[in-house]
Structure 1
Amino acid sequence: MKKGMLYIMAIFMGLILISGCEKKDTAKKDESMMEVLSGKWTGTIMVHNQPLDIIVSLNKNDGWSGNISIPVQGVNDYPLSSVTVNNKNISFFMKIQGQQISFDGNVDNNKIEGNFSQHGQTFSFELTKSDEGDQTADNTGEFLSVQTDNGRLYGELEEPSGEGPFPVMIIIPGSGPTDRNGNSPAIQGKNNSLKLLAEQLSEHGIASVRYDKRGVGKNVEAAIPENELDFNQFVHDAKTWVEQLAQEEAYTKVGIIGHSQGSLVGMVAARDSNADAFISIAGAGHPIDQVLYDQLKGQLSGELL
């Protein structure tokens, strides 16, 4: 009888120890996930193959909560209605104008990938952990900034070695969400074309400042709602860079290099400012209405085209 009681007690103690270990493991996993998820995440929703930039902030107090910003739609720090975390799966929701919008993704290190659902339609989304709200992987360079009527813009400076002053070129990227380095989330992989250009200029004694457009990369938080954004805003931003750099003693002359749509922007900005030079890379060779028609005819048809 005593042996039987001792046997039962041993089993009971063993179960208590196992239960305690499981609770500790669960607590460690929760703590680890809290460390991974807490903070700011930036990324895109691919809506009909067009990237829509978003910023999501997550935090945990008594439970998980957060907010979301969609800069080009004028949505800033909109509270998420609920956030659910289960191991490496995270789901968060927002209710807006009576509609429920959901995100369901999986966490892998500093990345969240999954599906975004609205109005019965589902699109993919991807977020990357970024405390500074910068979508570009390389954010370790030296940055300058200009203050505009619609927020502050940042540009990455590339300078030659040795003592200045140097001539400086402002590099303007092309259309869509193309960043200051020449990369776009709509195109797989990175070409770093504009970054390589800046580095080559530096080797030839020419400084450069390349900047992300509003709503992209380093300037994602300077986005203007799409219904308020027009071409002249991009021109005004480029002119602001020219005017500021022209006042700096570190630079002898200020020029503009524009790629694709950036060529159109730079052309007008160079004409309307005191820019000393303008270089067009793959700029439009036809009127813009014809260019837009040629681009859209592969996506639209009939009366819509």
Structure 2
Amino acid sequence: MNPTFRHLATAAALFIASAANAQTTDLAGLWQGSLSVQGTNLRTVVALSGNGNTLKGLLSVPQQGLQDLALSSTVVRHDSLLLRADNIQGRFAGRFAADGQSVAGMWYQGGMQLPLTLRRSSASAEASAAPRRPQVPVAPFPYRSQDLTFSNSKAGIQLAGTLTLPAGKGPFPAVVLVSGSGPEDRNETVFGHQPFLVLADYLTRQGFAVLRYDDRGTAQSGGTFAGALTADFTADAQAALAYLRTRPDIRHKQVGLIGHSEGGLIAWQAAAQPAGPDFVVSLAGPGVSGDAVLLRQQADLARAAGADSAAIGQNRRLHQALFAGLRRQPATLSADALTGKLASVVQQQIPGISAEVAQKQVKPLTSPWMRSFLLTDPATYLSKVKCPVLALNGSHDLQVAADQNLPAIEQGLRAAHNTHATVQTLPNLNHLFQTDSAGTSQYATIEETFAPSALQVIGNWLNQQVK
């Protein structure tokens, strides 16, 4: 699991051990359990069909928008059932109870070991367990919706999205929604929430055309997500801006970007270049370097999970040493060589840890995206942003802390002599801009998708820009 503000990946290669009579037991049906990840309980459902050598499985994690992921293989072997989904890189090993109605074990992914027990479940129980999301827009809508594709010619890919247009001929002011890190669909679906769907509905009713799109290599968009850097995603956002400016129903000089989380960094990069957005809304976007964001995030999440100050301090010292080691290495160093060097740092910080374990621990830090993100300083781009900016963070954001990032954004925009910037902390909102008075970031259990107060702030500011 990526420890930055990438959404938690819960799908995995699954290894489930069964009772000795599993080969003769009908395993077809729904098996349901719960994974506890950083204080959030994620409902996990495995649907098995067939029997014996024809057994197949589908994996769903509704709170994350994962639905019916086909497992790579499903094999019964003696007292175990082996399920794999190779593209997710994880596994689960357990054992069926004597009555064959449950299977208990451990889920392994990204160096973590999480207890998981799957129990037989009925279809009606599965349906009733779906999370309630009262803000999901319901037809009929007072606006038009078009599914479309547009081209990033430099990358040679087609990106798929949805454009919502207010009633009437236009032309309309427009915004492009840019998602956070990790492979996101056009609605930024996570934990059963669809924040971009809710935001697009609200803004289109306010008179704005809204384009939201699937990340490259995700859902219906072309290209490959793996290996892409923030700069590549910025090029995709620039292509979206360029596309809207070709349409006669769009005001060509009133096209902006709204970026969430890493999408905020993408907005800074796009706004610092020619033909950038006419205005920017940053929603929990970073204002400090990625390694600083991650150090603070780790501490805040650990504290919310009940970790003591000694453990938090030890983890911080370890990662400070790792990030310092990362900065010392040339950009041309291979991932394998970097893994070895960072593993040596871990062994110095944690006496007795084996080289193999240390390498597994640091492997996520050596991916091209992570390496680039950790070393990127938004100040490089903020000092060149001249367009109007609205930068918002929730006071209870545990992933991109408001008191760390908003002052840095404000400072960077002052360096650009930008006199059209509004920087604001919204009380009691979390990283997804849900009302979260307790500040625990229990995204899945909160029914609200996007706080109406935040929607109103965004809508009012945008209307001021396009008058």
Distance verdict in 2 for CA 1:296–1:101, change over 3 Å:
closer
Alignment match, 2:259: 258
For residues 236-275 of structure 1, what are the alpha-carbon distances to aligned partners after superposition, in whole Å with 9 as ceiling and x for unaligned?
1111211222222232223212233212101212333524
Q: Which runs of 5+ in 1 are unaligned?
A: 1-29, 38-44, 69-75, 85-90, 105-113, 130-135
Contact 2:179-2:263 within 8 A present in 1 as well: yes
Contact 1:243-1:273 within 8 A present in 2 as well: no
Give the letter for the 1:64 counterpart: L
| Whole-angstrom CA distance in 1 between matches of 2:277 and 2:317 | 46
Distance verdict in 2 for CA 1:261–1:103, change over 3 Å:
same
User: How many angstroms does 1:159 deviate by?
Assistant: 1.0
- The alignment's TM-score, normalised by the length of structure 1, stands at 0.53
Q: CA RMSD in A?
A: 5.2
Give the letter for the 2:73 counterpart: L
Alignment match, 1:16: none
Give the SS at the match of 1:164: coil
Counterpart of 2:84 (choices 91, 94, 101) is 94
Alignment match, 2:177: 171
Distance verdict in 2 for CA 1:103–1:159, change over 3 Å:
farther
Distance verdict in 2 for CA 1:57–1:256, change over 3 Å:
farther
User: How many angstroms does 1:209 deviate by?
Assistant: 0.7
Distance verdict in 2 for CA 1:154–1:49, change over 3 Å:
farther
| Whole-angstrom CA distance in 1 between matches of 2:150 and 2:105 | 37
Give the SS at the match of 2:272: helix
Contact 2:175-2:210 within 8 A present in 1 as well: yes
| Whole-angstrom CA distance in 2 between matches of 1:220 and 1:58 | 29
User: How many angstroms does 1:60 deviate by?
Assistant: 5.9
For residues 35-85 of structure 1, what are the alpha-carbon distances to aligned partners after superposition, in whole Å with 9 as ceiling and x for unaligned?
x99xxxxxxx8876799xxxx9988699334799xxxxxxx988415379x
Alignment match, 1:280: 281
Contact 2:164-2:204 within 8 A present in 1 as well: yes
Contact 1:168-1:251 within 8 A present in 2 as well: yes
Alignment match, 1:64: 55
| Whole-angstrom CA distance in 2 between matches of 1:123 and 1:151 | 41
Alignment match, 2:148: 144
| Whole-angstrom CA distance in 2 between matches of 1:184 and 1:154 | 19
| Whole-angstrom CA distance in 2 between matches of 1:66 and 1:272 | 47
Distance verdict in 2 for CA 1:100–1:236, change over 3 Å:
closer
Alignment match, 1:229: 228
Give the letter for the 1:142 counterpart: Q
Q: How many residues align structurally?
A: 230
| Whole-angstrom CA distance in 1 between matches of 2:280 and 2:70 | 39
| Whole-angstrom CA distance in 2 between matches of 1:158 and 1:63 | 44
Alignment match, 2:294: 292
Give the letter for the 1:260 counterpart: S
Distance verdict in 2 for CA 1:244–1:64, change over 3 Å:
same
| Whole-angstrom CA distance in 2 between matches of 1:142 and 1:248 | 13
1:194 aligns with 2:192: no
User: How many angstroms does 1:295 deviate by?
Assistant: 1.5
Question: How many percent of aligned residue pairs carry the same amino acid?
Answer: 26
| Whole-angstrom CA distance in 2 between matches of 1:291 and 1:232 | 18
Distance verdict in 2 for CA 1:47–1:201, change over 3 Å:
closer
